[in-house]
Amino acid sequence: MASQFAGLVRKPRADAVRNRERVLEAAKAVFSAGGPEASLEAVARHAGVGIGTLYRHFPTREALYEAVYRREVDQLGDLAEQLNDEADPVEALRHWLHANVQFVATKKGMAAALALVAHGSPELHAYSLERLTRAIGALLARAVAAGEIRADISAEDVLRALIGLCYMHDQAGWQSTVLRLLDVFIDGLRVQPAKATAAKRKPVKKALKRKR
Amino acid sequence: MASQFAGLVRKPRADAVRNRERVLEAAKAVFSAGGPEASLEAVARHAGVGIGTLYRHFPTREALYEAVYRREVDQLGDLAEQLNDEADPVEALRHWLHANVQFVATKKGMAAALALVAHGSPELHAYSLERLTRAIGALLARAVAAGEIRADISAEDVLRALIGLCYMHDQAGWQSTVLRLLDVFIDGLRVQPAKATAAKRKPVKKALKRKR
DNA sequence: CGCATATACGGAGGCATCCTCCGTTTTACA
DNA sequence: TGTAAAACGGAGGATGCCTCCGTATATGCG
């Protein structure tokens, strides 16, 4: 097994793999805490490696953002695929969208960094869009095939709406608000909107009080 | 008129007012072009003032973001108030939401900066939320009073949905996508969802082609 | 097992930007 | 027009970005 690709690619050194992993962990932690402007030297210190090591693995700040970003995206994609087992297609969709809110909720600082990198790297943006779109596409297609969701809204559209809404992670209680807005959006998606609203069908938080 | 507050507050110096204005203009231009990471010294140069002057008016980078942000918010608020004359309440709402998309569209780089500051300053965020919420509240209230919009969604909710969606300014064609999603959202808001969708009622762009 | 070499490590250092401090200049008011 | 308060602007110390290269170490072969 050692020389499977002997001569072509050398097996990567153990310390390199370990350090790369350490830096990624540290980056996630430091960015989550200090926001995307955090010093890269702080990341290196936190990872217990030299600044040179950090820069060899991730030549630019954006490259580091990217690496973390890719991880998050893959996790979300996997989750969507698992949800294909759910019985009710619309509920599966709702479930995934709501799960995303939880996902983002655990990494406040990161979200800003991810937003920045998504804005900066077309290639990465294309990748994540493709990955997530395909993942959510299955959920959506099932609901459309069942005649429960209008067919003129694409998976990209739903994805955009979700990401946009999730970006609103600014104040206490944002989660319940976003969940409610997602339900409204799902109502808008329905082919024949039922009289009962999504909020009624699944009260996110009982008797959530509103300002007006 | 000169000594209205004589002894209490001195009239601010003309050059101070002028320079503050210059810096704000320069900041808007430089951030719009170069993104939120642009050098403050570049802003000062562009404004034709010394770096010290910039820092006296805006002690931190965030303070400068804030000042620009406030302006934008006020402009949006004013726009909403003007729209109270519109005949159809739902259309007035739609009009304002769509106008926002145009507004954001002209300042790509700024949007990232605004997002950052909104994330950082609770006070400013509260102010802008209050300003815009009250502005949009009138539009919404009219539509609810007319029985056209469900009453369990607050002005804050609509605002969040809008800002979230508008944050998706990442690729060519994002505007038409966002406009379409806003229409879906408005459909979700309706008390008795009509069979005709918003897209049918007012085609944003005739025969907009979709990926799938 | 031990050596040779490719590979990775780490931090010194050059450069850019941040931000403060203070001597100089300008303005408002009497 | 005089004067004191206020603003100007840039020099300079501090910090962070990123490169470069001498040193250390893992891998694979003899």
Domains detected in chain B = 11-59 (1.10.10.60), 65-201 (1.10.357.10)
* Cβ pairs A/B, distance under 8 A: 121
Show the tokens assigned to A75: 């996790």
Q: How far is B171 from B174, CA to CA, in rounded Å?
A: 6
Instruction: Search chain A and give the residue with CA nearest B126.
Output: A171
Q: How far is A148 from A87, CA to CA, in rounded Å?
A: 13
**Whether the Cβ atoms of residue A43 and residue A26 lie closer than 8 Å to each other:** yes
| Distance, first Cα to last Cα, chain B | 66
- Calculate the alpha carbon distances from B167 to A23, A118, B111, B171, B173 in Å: 29, 11, 7, 11, 14
**Whether the Cβ atoms of residue A94 and residue A172 lie closer than 8 Å to each other:** no
Q: Are the beta carbons of B184 and A189 separated by less than 8 Å?
A: yes
* Any B CB within 8 A of A209 CB: no
Number of residues that make up chain B? 212
* Any A CB within 8 A of B76 CB: no
Q: Which residue has the higher pLDDT, B148 or B191?
A: B148
> Tell me, what DSSP letter sits at residue B190?
B
Show which residues sit with Cβ under 7 A of nucleic chain D. A 2-3, 6, 10-11, 13-15, 39-42, 51-52, 55-56, 59-61; B 10, 12-13, 15-16, 18-20, 48-53, 55-57
State whether the beta carbon of B52 lies below 7 angstroms from any atom of strand C.
yes
* Any A CB within 8 A of B112 CB: yes
* Shortest Cα–Cα distance, A32 to chain B (Å): 13
What pLDDT does residue A85 have?
83
**Whether the Cβ atoms of residue A143 and residue A93 lie closer than 8 Å to each other:** yes
Residue B210 has pLDDT above 80, yes or no: no
- The string of pLDDT tens digits covering residues B151-187 is 877 787 777 677 666 655 555 566 677 677 777 777 7
Mean pLDDT lowest for which of A17-26, A196-205, B111-120, B139-148? Answer: A196-205
What pLDDT does residue B15 have?
94
Instruction: Search chain A and give the residue with CA nearest B114.
Output: A112
* Any B CB within 8 A of A156 CB: yes
Task: Provide, as residue numbers in chain B, all residues whose Cβ is less than 8 Å from the Cβ of A170.
Answer: 118-119, 125
Q: How far is B173 from B176, CA to CA, in rounded Å?
A: 6
**Whether the Cβ atoms of residue A62 and residue A69 lie closer than 8 Å to each other:** no
- The amino acid at B2: A
Q: Please compute the mean of the pLDDT values over residues B23-51 and round it to a whole number.
A: 90
What pLDDT does residue A6 have?
41
- ∠ Cα B166 B209 A139 (to 5°): 70
Task: Provide, as residue numbers in chain A, all residues whose Cβ is less than 8 Å from the Cβ of B154.
Answer: 210-212
Q: pLDDT band for B207, please (50, 70, 90 cuts).
A: very low
- The amino acid at B83: L
Q: Are the beta carbons of A165 and B170 separated by less than 8 Å?
A: no
pLDDT tens string for chain A (212 positions)? 434 444 456 788 999 999 999 999 899 888 877 777 889 999 999 999 999 999 999 999 888 988 887 877 777 788 788 888 877 888 878 878 777 776 665 565 565 656 656 655 666 667 777 877 887 887 888 888 888 887 877 787 777 677 666 655 555 566 677 677 777 777 777 764 444 444 444 333 333 233 32
Q: Please compute the mean of the pLDDT values over residues B127-143 and round it to a whole number.
A: 80
* Nucleotides on strand D lying under 7 Å from protein C-beta: 5-12, 15-21, 25-29
Any idea which residue has 């010093």 for tokens?
A39
Q: How far is B113 from B40, CA to CA, in rounded Å?
A: 13
Q: Which residue has the higher pLDDT, B122 or A207?
A: B122
What pLDDT does residue A205 have?
34
Q: Are the beta carbons of B160 and A177 separated by less than 8 Å?
A: yes
Q: Which residue has the higher pLDDT, A139 or B201?
A: A139
In this complex, the residue of B125, B170, B195 whose CB is nearest that of residue A170 is B125
What pLDDT does residue B47 have?
95
Q: How far is A174 from B153, CA to CA, in rounded Å?
A: 14
Q: Please compute the mean of the pLDDT values over residues B7-19 and round it to a whole number.
A: 82
> How far does the CA of A14 sit from the C1' of C2, in Å?
21
Task: Provide, as residue numbers in chain A, all residues whose Cβ is less than 8 Å from the Cβ of B133.
Answer: 211
- Calculate the alpha carbon distances from A182 to A40, A49, B24, B153 in Å: 36, 42, 37, 12
3-state DSSP helix/strand/coil % of chain B, to nearest 5: 70, 0, 30
Task: Provide, as residue numbers in chain B, all residues whose Cβ is less than 8 Å from the Cβ of A178.
Answer: 160, 164
Residue B209 has pLDDT above 50, yes or no: no
Residue whose C-alpha is closest to residue A181's, from B195, B186, B77, B144: B186
Q: Which residues fall within 8 angstroms of residue A184, CB to CB, at 6 or more apart?
A: A197, A198, A199, B153, B157, B161, B185, B188, B189
Q: Please compute the mean of the pLDDT values over residues B195-201 and round it to a whole number.
A: 41
* DSSP assignments along A14-83, one per residue: HHHHHHHHHHHHHHHHHHHHH-TT--HHHHHHHHTS-HHHHHHHSSSHHHHHHHHHHHHHHHHHHHHHHG
* Nucleotides on strand C lying under 7 Å from protein C-beta: 6-13, 16-22, 26-30
Q: How far is A136 from A77, CA to CA, in rounded Å?
A: 8
Number of residues that make up chain A? 212
Residue B57 has pLDDT above 90, yes or no: yes
Residue B56 has pLDDT above 80, yes or no: yes
Residue whose C-alpha is closest to residue B161's, from B138, B119, B132: B132
Q: Which residue has the higher pLDDT, B171 or B67?
A: B67
> How far does the CA of A20 sit from the C1' of C5, in Å?
23
* Three-state SS at A206: coil
Q: How far is A83 from A72, CA to CA, in rounded Å?
A: 17
* Any A CB within 8 A of B206 CB: no
Nucleotide nearest to A41 (CA to C1'): D16
What pLDDT does residue B78 have?
80
Residue whose C-alpha is closest to residue A188's, from B178, B100, B194: B194
> How far does the CA of A58 sit from the C1' of C13, in Å?
21
* Three-state SS at B64: helix
In this complex, the residue of B154, B160, B168 whose CB is nearest that of residue A212 is B154
